[in-house]
Amino acid sequence: MFRKRDGFSLVEIVIGLVLLAVALLSIASSFTSSTKLMVHAVDREKATLIASEILDLIEAHDYSDLSYDSLSSDIHIPPTYSVTWTDSDNGDSKTIELTVSWEGVGKVNAVTMERDISRFGHQVVE
């Protein structure tokens, strides 16, 4: 009645190819996702380094003259990053809040750091 067939039918081959394509696409999307995450981590690390360096420059600068104009010649910021900072006077100290932002993968990202700087840190005790 029925003869034994060797091989696969066309329907079985098409279903197998569709399953293989779905599996390969999911693997490929995981590579792109991991690449985006890696780029984001590198950008965040650079922004953190920039913020830390600028805060160190601000802290080493004269306490009474903390302005962007007085520091602009010492600061090198890569073109893809932008820096904003504010200082608030607390009497014997100033609080510096610095934000480094950049256009990342798909959105604008930012790193914010804050440091308290004492006016007594710049005095020489004899």
Domain spans of the chain, in order of start: 10-122
CB atoms within 10 A of CB 47: 24
What pLDDT is attached to residue 73? 65
Average pLDDT over residues 100-119: 88
pLDDT digits (tens, 9 = 90+) for 37-60: 898 899 999 999 999 988 888 887
Please determine, for residue 101, whether its predicted confidence score (pLDDT) is greater than 90.
Answer: yes
Q: What is the pLDDT of residue 118?
A: 80
Least confident window among 38-42, 88-92, 99-103: 88-92
Spatial distance between the Cα atoms of 114 and 45, rounded to a whole number of angstroms: 17
CA–CA separation, 84 and 66 (whole Å): 13
Lowest mean pLDDT among 16-25, 30-39, 73-82: 73-82
What is the three-class DSSP state of 80? Answer: coil
